[in-house]
Every structure is written in structure tokens, then in C-alpha cells.
A = this chain, B = another copy of it.
Amino acid sequence: MASVVHTPHKSARTSHKGQQTKLAIVEAALVLAKRVGLDGLTIGSLADMMHMSKSGVFAHFGSREDLQVSVVWEYHERFRAEVFDPAMAHERGLPRLRTLFENWVHHINAEIAEGCLFTSGAVQFETQEGPVREALSESVSTWLNALRKAVQQSVNLGHLRQDCDAALMAFKIHGLVLSLHYQYRFLKAPEAVQWAQQGFDQLVRAYAAPNTGA
């Protein structure tokens, strides 16, 4: 899943320059989308922000929807780089699961001043079928599946008990993440960070296999 999609074939040089411009547009669009929402993103406001003409932006994206989809995948790649990849550097099982959760919490804290596309996008595209909703849903599902897999590996390696249902555990951890986002960002309750971390520790302790001391 590349962060910039649908690049037309051109000469190598034009293509490289065009690719750079396109990337710059997507990066600016992501900044804008975090502020005004994916659904508030327009070619016009983006062109203003970049001091480009609307047709200049249009040349790189066939439509507003194409642009929104590219923004979703750019956000996806950044989430991968910030949350997922560093966790993969840790040992399989509980160390990886714990890092995944901690990075996720860190990612939410870092975004407090900006906005989370996974949360706002889910609301904005809840009932709007189409490619933007599909991209968002596919992206979030990728990370929820990664979370579930990290739980399952913890069970397989004996870090968590055999009766730990990976799908249910991932659902609960997702709940902690969402509750943190809601209570910290909307209700302005900073103690939510501590609750999320304690909640995760208690979940892990509740399913700790007797031989791990986790």
C-alpha cells in the first residue's frame, strides 16, 4: 500500500518531479485534514494553502476523492512508522504487544493538538459509502488485525494464558485507546492517560500465564 497512488506514466525526470510535487500536496493535505477533517478537505483550500492553482492540484489528483484516499494512505504509513514498525523491532509476544499499545497511546497524546483521522474519519464517513470510507476502514482494520495478531502470538508463546480470546482482548484494548482519545481530547481529562495504561496492565495481568511473571 503505497502512500501516493495512481501516478501516471511519464518520462523518468518528469515523473520524479511530479511525484515530489504530489507528495508535497499530500503532506499539506494531511495537515489540513487533521485540522478541518477529511470531509472538509477541498482542492480549493489546499490550492490556497500551497499557493498553487486549483488546476495545478487537479493535475495530480483526478478528483477530490482521489486526494482524500491518498491522505488516508499517507496517514496509514505514518501510523505504521510511528506505532507499528517500532513495535515489530521488539520480541514477539508480550514485549511486542506492550510496545504496540504504548506507541499507540503516545501517538494519541502527540495528536492531542491536531486530530486523529481514524476517529474523525469514522464519524464523517460512517454512512457515506465510497472509496474514502473503504480506505479508512481497510487502514483501521489492518492495525486492529496487527493488534489481534500480537495478542495471539503472546498466547502461542505462552506469555498469555490459552483461554485468552485474541479477538476479545484486541476489542478491549481498542476500547482503552478510544476511551483515552474521547476523555483526554474531548472531555479534557488528562488522568485518562494513566487510566489507559493501568487498564492495559490489568488486562495483561488478568491473562498472565503462571510461568512468565508478566
Contact = CB atoms under 8 A, between A and B. Distances in A.
Interface of A: 37, 115, 119-120, 122-127, 137, 140-141, 144, 165, 167-168, 171-172, 174-179, 182-183, 185-188, 191-192, 195-196, 198-199, 202, 206
Contacts of A127: 115
A200 to B, nearest CB: 10
B175 A137 contact: no
The 3 closest A-B pairs by CB, nearest first: A175-B175, A175-B179, A178-B178
10 contacts: A37-B123, A120-B123, A140-B187, A168-B195, A171-B195, A172-B175, A174-B179, A175-B177, A175-B199, A178-B179
Given A137-B187, A175-B178, A182-B178, A199 B122 contact: no
A202 B168 CA distance: 11
Contact of A186 (B122, B172, B206): B122
A151 to B, nearest CB: 13
The prevalent SS among residues of A at the interface is helix
Contacts of A178: 175, 178-179, 182
Number of copies: 2
A75 to B, nearest CB: 15
Given A185-B126, A186-B126, A206-B206, A172 B176 contact: yes
Nearest to A179: B175
A171 B179 contact: yes
A167 B195 contact: yes
A180 to B, nearest CB: 8
